[in-house]
A and B are shown apart, each in its own frame.
Chain A
Amino acid sequence: MRRHRSTAARRHLGTTAGVAAVVMATGCSFFSFDPDVEDGAQGEGTGEAPMLAALVESGDLPPLEERLPDEPLVVEPNDRIGVYGGEWSTALVGAHDWPWLGRTVAYENFVRWAPEWDEAIPNLATEWEYNEDATEVTIHLREGIKWSDGEPFTADDVVFALNDVFNNHDLSPMAASDPGTAEKLDEYSLTITFDDPNALWIENNFILYQLVEKPLHYLGEFHIDHNPDADELAEEEGFADWVEMFDAKAGVLSSVQYWQNADMPTLRAWRVVEPLADSGQMVLDRNPYYWKVDPEGNQLPYIDHVEFDIMQDEEVMLVRALNGELDMHSRHFNTLANRPVLAENRESGGYGFFDLVPGEMNTAMISLNLSHEDDDLREIFNDHDFRVALSHAINRQDIIDVIYQGQGEPWQGAPREESPFYNEGLAKQYTEYDVELANEILDEAGYDERSGGVRVAPNGAPVSFDLSVPTDFRPDIIDSMEMVVGFWDELDIDVDLDTEDRSLWQNNREENEHDANVWSGDAGLRDAMYDARWYAPVHDGESNFGIPWAKWFRSDGDDPRSIEPPDEVKEHLEMYEAVEGEPDPELRDELMADFLSVSQERFYAIGISLTPPGYGIVADHFHNVPESMPSSSVYNDPGPTNPEQYFIEE
């Protein structure tokens, strides 16, 4: 609908401009009634977009052969070869919603995930190889790629980004956690060296996309190592020092700032025209130097412009979606609760659904704090039998029926069936609802005494703790935990449900002050390997059952807030180190499977149910979007499905 309106408006602009040429030729004066926006043309794929061909003809742009690398990356379209033109309307909720930018218009790394997420495939890098102990990776860049201003992209850019930006303590906090160092081998190849084995790095690391968005030829001027007069320049431009200036230009600390700089050359399919703001609109245009083509040799992307409406509220986004004003979107409004209303309006809104296979494997993960400061509670929580009993006492099917409309199945913290790491034992153990069994287990484990109707642990402490749930996160978790606490009443244990403001919840976790808490169970597809937070205490911010243990693991015991884990946990952590140190993908998958089978024995946290499939919406005139794609922050949907080959045709 939206498209009709804007096309009509453009045609209108043409006629007015023609008829009223006497008054004003361009229509950009104050006394015009027309939206003063650029005209966009649609055309068949003939090597390059009409808007670029026109620029080549007028001599403002070098011909296509000079802009493309000798061997451009060929992208297989999902369905068919597309046509050039059009505008992709999508939306952000505030400026801090920038990850959606990263996923839609900025997914370019050295390697990328294959759309099916079975392997990593070449992208900016044509080849990459690790040394034997995975402490060094050598990357060969695709030759002849150019930044969006026509300057070549070389190893120097990457070396600059890693060594001069992210290893500079003034510029980046990442320098404190040793992100590795780069060494240039020749124009198009470099080696990156790490302190510890890091075989997973090239496929998934937070720093990766930031290494290929820092053009030396543009940013060098603002960096003191490359321009001794940078401080003077900073003063001229009104900054306190070169650090502040560099951060403002390059957005080292925050991607919000990165996207606010419209002058930044890019390697991505679209470049910023109207920068990110906290309201209004952000607009991107096609990058004339984009280095990918379709199988017929047409330069990508097909779509001319991408437009992000910046909203304040998710409900507004929902209404826009219902009205068919979002061409392709799968963030924020696409909840289970909104599905019926979106389904009902498919026809009038002119859109359909595509499936998202959630990376999330569990609707709620209950973590008893295994490294609790309190000796009594820690002893109780570390009792394997105690956790098994709690798990058996939960009627998961009831929760699924009441809260999740019957979607999902009883599940522990375990990879999904779609994942290469699916392990039925891990997924299904102790999920059977059996209160009698649970009580029996507790009696046998020595919890048979009661004081005031509450069980007493073998160490003499009453079994009584708080279960904290964050508000402002997911209302379904609060509902399901109310039911869980009800089920646990049958065990004669005293659990208080404590709903806390999200930042308080976060703070308690960081300070190791929680008894037990609840969060959603992320990383249940291939991402289980890259983010094993629920399978062992490897994540020092998110492995809620043992944050101080994870801190010990990550800092080699240096962090003052870390606690040394018991030997059995240490052994398990070593298995994960082996995964991280294995350069061979197949062997690595095997090591991962072994690691997960020990997770099954350890049974760190209690899961509830498998997260039901998600969905996104795609307009009827918007093509080449796969019918189904994985959804995970490691996969970065829809990035790996190649948004540059999406196209618009009525």
Chain B
Amino acid sequence: MRRYVTRRVLYMIPTLFAISLVAFLIIQLPPGNFLTAYIAQLSAQGQGVDGAQIRALEERYGLNDPVVVQYWRWISGIVFHGDFGQSFEHRREVSDLIWDRIGLTLALAVTTLILSWLIAFPIGVYSAVRQYSAGDYVVTFIGFVGLATPNFMLALLFAWVSFRYFGQSVGGIVSQEYTDAAWNLGKVMDVVSNLWIPVLIIGTAGTAALIRVLRANLLDELRKPYVTTARAKGLPEWRLILKYPVRMSLSPFISTIGWILPTLVGGEVMVSIVLSLETTGPLLVNALQSQDMYLAGSFILVLGSLTVVGTLLSDLLLAWWDPRIRHQHVERV
């Protein structure tokens, strides 16, 4: 087991290197650079920037250097000094920018995950055990609608309904009167009372997917002979189901843990934009659009690392949870 983990960790190094290289190159691919986007913005606001100034700026930011040089400047800063560079657009340290928003993003991701577990688990079990019952059809229908409706669409609908019928405007997670207030209980309560909306909206698709997966897995298990045997031995039905087949089909719940880490940084961009949430997603989109390459590149690198780490974590958890997987590995290793 230890050898397995060590090997996985060692594999991560070249993977991360490849991610950083590809991320940086992809950001450089579109024509133009940050200045093109910046000048487009200025000119849209009616301000011209003349040629001499553009050349001076290109020089200053080193935008005319070969990509390899620019890449080295960026990656060496990260590796040797832990310095992600400065965002062109925000004129601030990249790490500060990301850090500022990580708290809310984290809260949102974790709450969403827990909520979708809480909803998906009982419904998934119910609809598998009562397959083709009226209740199953209802939750299946709702599940498919949840899967098929884009989250941002729900967010837009929500924004409209809350304005039209409740006279409330959405946007932000902290109510206006608390925006500049120091953190106190009132503010915490305020955040909690505003958080459930995005959590619900972001959670729909994930919950629906979990229900479907759990249902399918459980259906497979329910038909297996050991279930029949247990039933023949007179085990009470609900205890039987929860103790054996449900346990066997819980793997998808565990593997979703691997996905949380990356969604921390990049997840639910659209919903966040529509609801004006101060999460990391909108920042990433904005950075990509304005070709703010150090910010965007660092984002993607962090995202990549988190995905890699998250996958490892969920693999380990799965191995711990499910002896079948554990033994498979041990046999192979």
B150 contacts A by Cβ under 8 Å:
no
Q: Which of B64-117 contact A (CB under 8 A)?
A: 89-92, 97, 101
B183 near A319 with CB under 8 A, answer no
A94 near B189 with CB under 8 A, answer no
Interface centre among B41, B89, B179 (most CB of A within 10 A): B179
B186 near A9 with CB under 8 A, answer no
B213: chain A residues within 8 A (beta carbon): none
B55 near A506 with CB under 8 A, answer no
Q: Contacts A36-B184, A503-B291, A542-B43 hold; do A176 and B55 have CB atoms under 8 A apart? A: yes
State how many angstroms separate the Cβ of A326 from the closest Cβ of chain B.
10
Category for how many chain A residues contact B:
35 or more
Count contacts on B: residues with CB < 8 A to the other chain.
Answer: 65
State how many angstroms separate the Cβ of A97 from the closest Cβ of chain B.
9
Interface centre among A260, A319, A559 (most CB of B within 10 A): A319
Interface centre among B40, B156, B182, B278 (most CB of A within 10 A): B40
State how many angstroms separate the Cβ of B50 from the closest Cβ of chain A.
5
B31 near A311 with CB under 8 A, answer no
B32: chain A residues within 8 A (beta carbon): 503-504, 506-507, 510
Complex CA gap A503/B178 in Å reads 38
Selected contact of B163 from candidates A28, A283, A322, CB within 8 Å: A322
Complex CA gap A177/B30 in Å reads 28
Q: Which of B269-283 contact A (CB under 8 A)?
A: 272-278, 282-283
B189: chain A residues within 8 A (beta carbon): 33
A531: chain B residues within 8 A (beta carbon): 46, 48
B177 near A559 with CB under 8 A, answer no
Question: Chain A: which residue is nearest B188 at the CB level?
Answer: A30
A554 contacts B by Cβ under 8 Å:
yes
A313: chain B residues within 8 A (beta carbon): 171, 273-274, 276
Selected contact of B48 from candidates A94, A315, A542, CB within 8 Å: A542
B177 near A173 with CB under 8 A, answer no
B56 near A35 with CB under 8 A, answer no
Complex CA gap A281/B286 in Å reads 19
B177 near A256 with CB under 8 A, answer no
A323 near B182 with CB under 8 A, answer no
B181 contacts A by Cβ under 8 Å:
yes
A522: chain B residues within 8 A (beta carbon): 46
Interface centre among A177, A281, A323, A504 (most CB of B within 10 A): A177
Contact with B along A222-250 (1 / 0, CB 8 A): 00000000000000000000000001100
Selected contact of B30 from candidates A283, A323, A501, CB within 8 Å: A501
Selected contact of A254 from candidates B48, B91, B168, B169, CB within 8 Å: B91
Question: Chain A: which residue is nearest B48 at the CB level?
Answer: A541
Complex CA gap A503/B30 in Å reads 9
Complex CA gap A36/B290 in Å reads 36
Complex CA gap A178/B97 in Å reads 35
Q: Contacts A31-B184, A33-B189 hold; do A506 and B90 have CB atoms under 8 A apart? A: no
A325 contacts B by Cβ under 8 Å:
yes
B57: chain A residues within 8 A (beta carbon): 173, 253
A323: chain B residues within 8 A (beta carbon): 163, 167-169
B60 contacts A by Cβ under 8 Å:
yes
Question: Chain B: which residue is nearest A248 at the CB level?
Answer: B91
B6 contacts A by Cβ under 8 Å:
no
B214: chain A residues within 8 A (beta carbon): none
Complex CA gap A506/B169 in Å reads 36
Selected contact of B181 from candidates A35, A173, A175, CB within 8 Å: A35
B286: chain A residues within 8 A (beta carbon): 94
Contact with B along A305-321 (1 / 0, CB 8 A): 00001011101100110
State how many angstroms separate the Cβ of A118 from the closest Cβ of chain B.
20
A502 near B90 with CB under 8 A, answer no
State how many angstroms separate the Cβ of B284 from the closest Cβ of chain A.
12
A29 contacts B by Cβ under 8 Å:
yes
B232 contacts A by Cβ under 8 Å:
no
B53 near A503 with CB under 8 A, answer no
Sample 13 A-B pairs with CB under 8 A, ordered by A number: A5-B177, A30-B184, A33-B184, A33-B189, A96-B290, A176-B53, A206-B47, A274-B180, A316-B169, A316-B274, A320-B171, A323-B167, A540-B48
> B residues near A, CB below 8 A?
30-32, 36-37, 39-41, 43-57, 60, 89-92, 97, 101, 156, 159, 163, 167-172, 174, 176-187, 189, 272-278, 282-283, 286, 290-291
Closest 3 CB pairs of A and B: A633-B46, A173-B56, A33-B186
Extra 20 A-B pairs, beta carbons < 8 Å, given A280-B174, A280-B179: A2-B176, A6-B176, A28-B182, A96-B41, A173-B52, A173-B53, A206-B48, A260-B92, A309-B176, A311-B276, A312-B272, A313-B273, A313-B276, A323-B169, A504-B31, A507-B31, A508-B31, A531-B46, A540-B51, A542-B48
